Chains A and B, each alone.
Chain A
Amino acid sequence: MATGVFSESRAKIKERTLRTDRWWLQPLITFIVLFSFIIYATFRAFENKYYFLEPLVSPLYSPCLSTACVEGSSLLGQPFNNEYFGIGISPALFILIFPLGFRMTCYYYRKSYYRAFWMSPPACAVAEPHAKYTGETRAPLILQNSHRWFFYAGLVFNVLLTWDAIIAFRNENKEWGHMSVGTLVLLFSATMLWLYSLSCHTCRHTIGGRLKHFSKHPIRYKTWTWVSALNHKHPTFAWISLFGVAFADIYVRQVASGAWTNFYLF
């Protein structure tokens, strides 16, 4: 039986949409960019090499926690083996669930990929192709409610990646007081990740959004207004931080593989 805009009681219009603008462009671009990132990140996660060259470590492999990690790349030790049940596991696979989970459950990315990948809906006032819809009320999408746990984990990762950027103020001999192009790349990536996290809707809620009485909590209210201002730019930070991580990884890969030279400014 026809449903949605083709329901019996609604105006009889055969088109799924009468929009005349290029409504398909934004979801198409989103699909291309996100799909490209997924392909690249998957390739890099399994590549298991070219992720470290003193003092630079790729954000896709940090913290490097397995015994397979290149010497000097492990910030927090090596609690995991490099293989389980006879299968070698890339160090990236132990950690990527956290940043991946943070982005997958992010309210902004949800909007983006529900539109671009699942076409639910592809764009506003464009009929979706699905016969049924239950939203985020049942498994697996009810797991979107875990966003705040990934947010907390993301903050830990931000601290670690910021530390990676700080120790990049050393040279290959671990002497402090130097700065290379790689330092700037890691700093940019870490800064954007902080802005992405701090502008997050969960952060906004945790800081003060959950309050009923702003007037009883003036400091939390003030902080909430700052986070709210950042929150307006959350989509921008989401994209820039994604590109920042990808570029940082590409840079470290190229330097570690010898394709590029990490130029030192001082």
Chain B
Amino acid sequence: MARKLKLRIWRGDASDGGLKNVEVEANEGEVVLDLIHRVQATQMGDLAVRWNCKAGKCGSCSMEINGKPRLACMTQVASFPEGEEITITPLRAFPVIKDLVTDVSFNYRKAMEIPSYEHPKNLAPGEARMEQVDVERSQEFRKCIECFLCQDVCHVVRDHEENKKSFAGPRFFIRIAELDMHPLDMLKNRKQKAQEEHGLGMCNITKCCTEVCPEHIRITDNAIIPMKERVVDVKYDPVHWLGSKIRKREGIV
């Protein structure tokens, strides 16, 4: 059954902007992205919005709905109580381009800073083998759809623009964790780099990244905290450090 909904949609660009009121019809089973499309088709023809798959898998329609970072295509209209006004804004951690579209290139720059996988020199392409149990561990991190909601909600950069230089963010901590837990990755000092170059130590475990992840990746528990513990192994644990020197290896096998 159709119902009328009141929306407040942020419109503007980097120079100025504000919330515009609009009323739109919503049908049963619709998501917020449907409403935005209806507004775009009937009332605001030049409303800018980024979207693609409408199935929660491309990560394009990230925005903030009633102040929470969410995918518009996965936010059911029915989840809002009757009569509640829905406020839709662009992601507030990134520079706005127009209306609901932000410039997320910060994330791509950070992606390029992460050292990639280093294959063992004694294994030719095609010779590498991994046990399923080792594959499963990083499989969770491969679910990431790069919607950057975790990057948006992380207060380290959301509330402190100046930290963007030195902080990679949760999305890239799961990338680092995935590589550091990879049985065949040969790159040394990944842990040290995580701490010293990618800002792992700036994370204070407030778990907002985990709360907003639409893929339900346990970012904090399975990637960030394990990486923090691995950093402690190599930087803040003299017993472990001594053991690694005696046994002539990095200490983690």
Range class of the B interface residue count: 35 or more
Interface centre among B64, B203, B230 (most CB of A within 10 A): B64
**CB-based nearest A residue for B159:** A4
Does B193 belong to the interface (CB within 8 Å)?
no
> CA–CA, A8 to B15, complex, Å?
8
> CA–CA, A146 to B112, complex, Å?
32
**CB-based nearest A residue for B84:** A20
- Residue pairs across A and B with CB atoms within 8 Å: the count is 168
> CA–CA, A254 to B131, complex, Å?
57
B160 adjacent to A3 (CB under 8 Å): yes
A10 adjacent to B253 (CB under 8 Å): no
Interface centre among B18, B92, B131, B202 (most CB of A within 10 A): B92
A212 adjacent to B221 (CB under 8 Å): no
> CA–CA, A148 to B84, complex, Å?
47
**CB-based nearest A residue for B155:** A121
A interface secondary structure, majority? loop
Nearest chain B CB to A26's CB is how many angstroms away? 11
**Residue numbers in B under 8 Å from A136 (CB-CB):** 201-204
Residues on A close to B: CB < 8 A? 3-5, 7-13, 17-21, 107, 110-111, 114-115, 120-121, 124-128, 130, 132-137, 141-142, 145-148, 201-202, 204-205, 209-216, 221, 231
Can you report 29 A-B residue pairs in the complex whose CB atoms are below 8 A from each other?
A: A3-B162, A4-B161, A7-B161, A8-B14, A10-B96, A11-B12, A11-B89, A12-B16, A13-B10, A18-B64, A18-B66, A110-B204, A114-B206, A121-B206, A124-B211, A127-B159, A128-B159, A132-B160, A135-B203, A142-B201, A148-B229, A201-B229, A205-B225, A205-B226, A205-B230, A210-B251, A212-B252, A214-B131, A216-B253
